[in-house]
Amino acid sequence: MGSILVAAIVSGSIYALVSLGFALAFRISSVFNLAHGILLVTAGYLNYWLAVQHGLSPWISVPTSLALVGALGLTIEAVLIPAAKTAGLKPVDLLLLSWLMLLIVQDVLAIAFESQSIYVGASQVREGWAVFGGRVTPLQALIVATSILVGAALFLIIRRSATGQEVLAVGDDPRLAMICGLNVKKIIGLNAAAAALLTAGAGILMSYQERLDPTLGFRFSVIAIVSTLIGFPLGPAGAVVGAYVLALFETLVLYVVDPGLRDAAVYAGLFLVLVWTYRRSLVPPEG
Amino acid sequence: MPEADVPLLAAKNISRRFGSAPVLDSVSLTLAAGTLTVLTGRNGSGKTTLVNCLTGFDLAYEGEVQFRGTPLGRTPADGRARLGLVRTFQYPHVFADLRVGDHVRLGRLAGLAAIRSYFTRWGTAVTAEIVDELDLSPLLERPGFALSFGEMKVVNTARALATGAPVVLLDEPLASLHGWRRALMVRAIERRRSAGYAVLVIEHEAPELAASADDLFELEGGTLNRRSPA
Amino acid sequence: MVDLTLYVLQLCVVVGLLALAISFYTDGLGYVVLHPFALAGVGAYVFAVLATRYQWPPILGALAAVSSAALSGLLCAEAIRSLRGDGLTLATFGIGVGSFELFRQLDITNSVFGIGSIPSLVGDGGRAWQVGVALLALLLAAGLVRTWRRSVGGTVVAALRMDEWGALSVGAPLVAHQRVTGLLAGAVAGLGGVYLAVTARFVEPRDFQVSGLLVPLGAVIVAGGRTPWGVVVVAGGIVLVSQGARFVGASPVVAGPLTEIAIAACLAAVLVFTRLRQLRRDNARG
């Protein structure tokens, strides 16, 4: 049981960082952006390309990757999605378009890197510390700590700070927020940048820990959506809680049911959480 | 045709809150066959909310609604409509790409059992009393999106009346209607009353209906108060 | 060259059937669903297992397979009946991808290795037979869609799509229609799966990936509610275009990612264009 818990916490920590990024973006856009996961994968591959294929120091490759992928995320969340909404595209259209974008980027990466999975971590396997029957490497411990700290910080920022309240306001009603004098574009931009950086950062951290392949983007998009919806009552930072819950569920299926059904568990989670979250209340929406 | 003197609809202690704000507070109402009830009240007083609750579009209410003495429980809107309780909308819900003739036919046929409906051809002929009553013949081929607001209201009402349901709740059926269209609508409502239907009409300014109504109520502050017909 | 033609024809049929299955939803209740390939997979695998492992006669196996797919469609419809809009689409996406994972993992589907040596429905008939079977499958499905559209039920679901509250107010039995839609979509998708199984004689999980819906979905969006034959023709057209390179002698291993990029980009453009055109029309109507 202990090793299951440790495994769940370790994988949950990466899920948490990615999901936090998605949750922030989702709080404002309300779009199930399936393309969110490409930020994770692109950051990892970009860092690999710079650090490994071009031999740059991580002090250069990591910030560069973060900046470039951050810009990509900013473009998607703060430019493309608002423009699409203004043009009148519906949430279903945006969902489909995000899926198409995901497929395209996935295929571009597959072509560019000849479908190779990549790994930037050190070649020697670090032993790590024994914890409750499992093993945790220093990097994994760092990621766990980071996810909890960032989650807690975000929780406080959203609840207590003016910026956090502004993000919530824009998410609830951008027009009203504008009328009340908030700089909606700036808030959307800041939020999108934070979301992108969190996810890109998670991708880079992940590439030092395990192999990345282009199809991971899709899997992490789904993980992010499920985690966000599970933790929804707690606000965007609740995605951290959601991520650990999902990781636990997934790890249980992996160890107790069938290792091959690990991915199926995530998709079952998606289905279940959607049916639960959007089940018809006693008042169906007028339409 | 419904029998007279049988309470078709009985609402008992209907309460509805939105958050902490009470919109309906223990509202009780009885609609008997062959009666016309007029409901008035200021904007936002909860008239439409009451209709939503009675007809099952809003099931988050406390209290009980009975149709012909049988409690409706949590029966949803379409179920209540098939039982015989139909309503129209303040802002008419018309089908944009269907013609007026199709609206009337849908009123008659929408409630068909699903399996049976797929074995029944749709067809195009529209033969319904309501078409002549409301003089819809010139509009039959017009698609929903091409109707004016007043025409939409008439089509909305025609669709509801075409169901033949014995209890009809009309939400501002005379809004935007003037002259002969208004007179036709009033006459159609009166005819339903004479034929033994229970009709509830929400209207602000309808002296022609208020004068002949069997019951006149005003919804104010969440409570239903009886007023005497003028 | 003839084999290639037959292969493309068979692909057109499968894609056409999937497009018709989707159209029960998009041209009916108006839901955008992404699980029809999973339903096709149910049809294909049930047929394959019954025919190879239990030696059922192919016709019986096909009937059982289509029924299973129809039942699966009904169950899915029941599960998603409270959802609408993007939540519904995403939930069906979950069903689609989850089913793909199940096909890859379960022993009964022979996991990633797939099931081969599937008997043909019409023996090893010649080209004429093959084309005949293809046309028969399409005729059946298109005929079903046409009858459905012209029925009272077909108009009721269209009304539910245009204005759900308006339709509910006159007693349209929403849940029952959701169930029938699921049943019909499942049956036609299952037919597509069975057809794939009997023509390719081999099924594997990769045949039923959600991304395979790109073409049928695109066909339905482009056809925009026109006749069922219109949907089939558009679907066939897209398949011909995407496979076109092979006709002019390009490598049989068409750069999979490259084709997918092209199709995805085109579908995105079609989606945006169709939506904007619809909005312009609605605004003009006032």
Residue B60 has φ and ψ, to the nearest 5°, of -90, 40
Q: Computed over its alpha carbons, how large is the radius of gyration of chain C?
A: 19
Distance CA B137, CA C251 (A): 64
Distance CA B227, CA B215 (A): 8
Place of tokens 């250069």: A60
3-class DSSP state of B218: strand
Q: Which residues of A touch B60 (CB under 8 A)?
A: 281-283
Host H or E run for residue A272: helix A262-277
CB-based contact C224:C274 (threshold 8 Å): yes
Residue A231 has φ and ψ, to the nearest 5°, of -90, 10
Minimum distance, in Å, between the CA of residue A284 and any CA atom of chain B: 7
Determine the residue of chain C that is closest to B57 in CA distance.
Answer: C165
Residue A122: predicted pLDDT: 63
Residue A83: predicted pLDDT: 93
Tokens found for residue A15: 């899920």
Percent residues over pLDDT 90 in chain B:
71
Once rounded to an integer, what is the mean pLDDT over residues B194-209? 90
Percent residues over pLDDT 70 in chain C:
93
Distance CA C157, CA C215 (A): 25
Query: A107-116, A120-129, B124-133, C189-198: which has the highest mean pLDDT?
Result: C189-198
Q: Could you tell me the pTM of the whole model? A: 0.91
CB-based contact B29:B55 (threshold 8 Å): no
Distance CA C221, CA C225 (A): 8
Dump the DSSP string for B182-203: HHHHHHHHHHHHHTT-EEEEE-
More confident residue, C102 or A1: C102
Mean per-residue pLDDT over chain C, rounded: 87
Residue C189 has pLDDT above 60, yes or no: yes
CB-based contact A177:A188 (threshold 8 Å): no
pLDDT band at C168 (very low <50, low <70, confident <90, very high): very high
CB atoms within 10 A of CB B135: 12
pLDDT tens-digit readout, A154-168 = 888 888 888 888 888
Instruction: From C82, A287, C29, C171, select the one nearest B56 (Cα to Cα).
Output: C171
Q: Which among A32, A89, A284 has the least Cβ separation from residue C90?
A: A32
Place of tokens 């033609």: C5
Domain encompassing residue C24: 2-254
Q: What is the dihedral of CA A36, A41, A47, A53, to 10 degrees?
A: -150
Distance CA C188, CA C23 (A): 10
Q: Cα B132 to chain center, whole Å? A: 19
Please tell me the total count of domains within chain C.
Answer: 1
CB atoms within 10 A of CB B225: 11
Distance CA C286, CA C284 (A): 5
Instruction: From C70, C16, C13, C69, select the one nearest C44 (Cα to Cα).
Output: C69
3-class DSSP state of B220: strand
Domain assignments of chain A as residue spans, ordered by start: 2-277
Distances (CA, A) of C104 to A99, A106, A264, C41: 22, 21, 10, 11
CB-based contact A222:A270 (threshold 8 Å): yes
Percent residues over pLDDT 90 in chain C:
52
Residue A114 has φ and ψ, to the nearest 5°, of 50, 40
Percent residues over pLDDT 70 in chain A:
95
> Which CATH number characterizes residue C238's domain?
1.10.3470
Would residue C14 count as lying in a domain? yes
Residue C251: predicted pLDDT: 47
pLDDT band at C253 (very low <50, low <70, confident <90, very high): very low
Minimum distance, in Å, between the CA of residue A60 and any CA atom of chain C: 31
pLDDT tens-digit readout, B143-177 = 999 999 999 999 999 999 999 999 999 999 998 88
Would residue C16 count as lying in a domain? yes
pLDDT band at A287 (very low <50, low <70, confident <90, very high): very low
Mark A65-92 as b/e (b = at least 16 C-beta within 10 Å). bbebbbebbbebbbebbbebbeeebebb
Min mean pLDDT across B1-15, B66-80, B91-105 is at B1-15
Q: How many helices (H) and strands (E) does chain C have?
A: 11, 1
What residues of chain B have any CB closer than 8 angstroms to a CB in chain C?
55, 57, 76-79, 81-82, 86-89, 93-98, 102, 106-107, 109-115, 117-122, 144-146, 156, 159-160, 162-163
Hey, are the CB atoms on A283 and B74 less than 8 Å from each other? no
Once rounded to an integer, what is the mean pLDDT over residues A246-256? 91
Per the DSSP assignment, residues forming a β-bridge with B225 are: B218
pLDDT tens-digit readout, C37-51 = 999 999 999 999 999
Distance CA A169, CA A150 (A): 22
pLDDT band at C199 (very low <50, low <70, confident <90, very high): confident
Chains B, C: CB contacts within 8 A come to 121
Instruction: From C34, C271, C30, select the one nearest C159 (Cα to Cα).
Output: C30
Which residues contact residue B216 at a Cβ distance below 8 angstroms, ignoring those fewer than 6 apart? Answer: B37, B38, B40, B210, B226, B227, B228, B229, B230
Contacts 24+ apart (CB under 8 A), B153-157: B153/B88, B153/B92, B153/B177, B154/B181, B154/B185, B155/B92, B155/B94, B155/B100, B155/B103, B155/B104, B156/B88, B156/B89, B156/B92, B156/B93, B156/B94, B156/C166, B157/B88, B157/B185, B157/B188
Tokens found for residue B79: 């179920």
Distance CA B120, CA A158 (A): 57
Tokens found for residue C53: 């492992």
More confident residue, C266 or B2: C266
Residue B57 has pLDDT above 70, yes or no: yes
Which residues contact residue C120 at a Cβ distance below 8 angstroms, ignoring those fewer than 6 apart? Answer: C58, C198, C199, C201
Determine the residue of chain B that is closest to A280 in CA distance.
Answer: B59
How many alpha carbons lie under 13 Å from residue A151 in its C-beta half-sphere?
29
Min mean pLDDT across A225-229, B136-140, C188-192, C240-244 is at C240-244
Residue C141 has pLDDT above 80, yes or no: yes
Distance CA B90, CA B115 (A): 32
Tokens found for residue C203: 């099924």
Once rounded to an integer, what is the mean pLDDT over residues A49-60? 89
Tokens found for residue A126: 């670090």
Q: Computed over its alpha carbons, how large is the radius of gyration of chain B?
A: 17
Residue A279 has pLDDT above 80, yes or no: no
Task: Quickly name the fold that domain A2-277 has.
Answer: ABC transporter involved in vitamin B12 uptake, BtuC (1.10.3470)
pLDDT band at A276 (very low <50, low <70, confident <90, very high): confident
Q: Which domains does chain B have, with CATH numbers?
A: 7-227 (3.40.50.300)
CB-based contact C175:C81 (threshold 8 Å): yes
Minimum distance, in Å, between the CA of residue C135 and any CA atom of chain A: 31
Would residue C53 count as lying in a domain? yes
What residues of chain C have any CB closer than 8 angstroms to a CB in chain A?
32, 79-80, 82-91, 93-95, 97-98, 101-102, 104-105, 111, 163-165, 211, 214, 255, 257-258, 260-261, 264-265, 267-268, 271-272, 275-276, 279
pLDDT tens-digit readout, C201-222 = 899 998 888 888 888 888 888 8
